[in-house]
Amino acid sequence: MLGFFIQGIDFIVNRSNGFMKNLKNLQERIKLVIFDLDGTLIDAYEAITQSVNFTLKKLDYEEAPAKRIRWAVGWGDRKLLGAFIKGQDLNSALVIYRGHHRIALKKYSKLLPGAKELLEYLKQRDIKIAIASNRPTEFTHIILRCLDLRKYFDYVLCADKLPKGKPHPEILLRIMKKLKIKPEQVVYVGDMTIDVETARNAGIRSIAMLGGSSNLTEIKKAKPFKILKSLAFLKKYL
């Protein structure tokens, strides 16, 4: 058995035949990988921070620290702004935010390390790939076009196209139904506890990535199937 430690996570690699057989069985079962977008495949935190603070300034609110904005991400832009703006100003804030964000995303969005290589690896293995995001559809597609990612995905679904967003499981259930894949053949990869909860509600495995909008303590409490430091580790399970 080989053990090593990375930023608070114990990765134990058991080299026994039983472990390697189970790992191989998991790899053979996975037919669909569904990704969250922000904090999982791409880093748009700077774009979000710029747009939130532009909106706050326009409405005579104090600017918010980047760290506080980061922890508010993941629930859709209305809830994001609602963390900083009074209810009576929210509709006006959304108009300002979205107008600015269309431009900011093109300027500040970037791929996370290993993202494109992972997507290419999955395509080579004929594994279907989808996105399930609480980010509005319009902005999701701006990111995908800007970073030349749309070609990798078999299906993209965002919460604004559904009655309920994450953690309600409908977004994952619809993707599985669309692509005709069984729950036991699916894994959902995200960076937040809401992603882990959504996967559990849909009856599928979750893999949580560090470095996004939930910290290690929060993710551990959510109990995903695996916690990984970076996308580079993900290939082992796929």
- Cβ(222)–Cβ(193) below 8 Å: yes
- Asked whether residue 122 is assigned to any structural domain, the reply reads yes
Domain co-membership, 96 together with 155: no
Whether 33 and 69 share a structural domain? no
**Structural domain of 123:** 2-15+29-43+110-237
pLDDT of the residue at 20: 43
Q: What is the DSSP letter of 38?
A: B
H or E stretch at 68: helix 66-72
Q: What is the CATH number of the domain that holds 104?
A: 1.10.150
CB atoms within 10 A of CB 4: 9
CA 143, 195, 76, 166 torsion: positive or negative?
Answer: positive
Residue after which a domain boundary falls, among 108, 129, 151:
108
pTM of the model: 0.85
How far, in Å, are 65, 86, 90, 94, 213 from residue 56 at the CA level?
A: 12, 11, 11, 11, 21
Number of C-beta neighbours around residue 155 at 10 A: 16
Concatenating the DSSP letter of every residue in 166-198 gives: TTSTHHHHHHHHHHT--GGGEEEEESSHHHHHH
In this prediction, residue 17 carries a pLDDT of: 45
Domain count, the chain: 2
What's the CATH code of the domain at 195?
3.40.50.1000
Is there a domain that residue 20 lies in?
A: no
pLDDT digit of tens for each residue in the chain (238 aa)? 333 333 334 333 333 444 344 445 556 689 999 999 999 999 999 999 999 999 999 999 999 999 999 988 888 899 999 999 999 999 999 999 999 999 999 999 999 999 999 999 999 999 999 999 999 999 999 999 999 999 999 999 999 999 999 999 999 999 999 999 999 999 999 999 999 999 999 999 999 999 888 999 999 999 999 999 989 889 888 8
Domain end (from 91, 108, 125): 108
CA 107 to each of CA 16, 23, 209: distance values in angstroms, whole numbers, following the listed order: 48, 40, 24
Residues 6+ apart with CB under 8 A from 161: 137
Residues 120 and 226 in one domain: yes
Q: What is the DSSP letter of 146?
A: H
Q: Of 108, 128, 149, which marks where a domain is finished?
A: 108
Are 225 and 206 contacting, i.e. CB atoms less than 8 angstroms apart? yes
Say yes or no: 146 and 175 in one domain: yes
**What pLDDT does residue 27 have?**
64
The helix (run of H) or strand (run of E) holding residue 35 is: strand 32-35
Q: Note whether 171 and 232 are same-domain residues.
A: yes
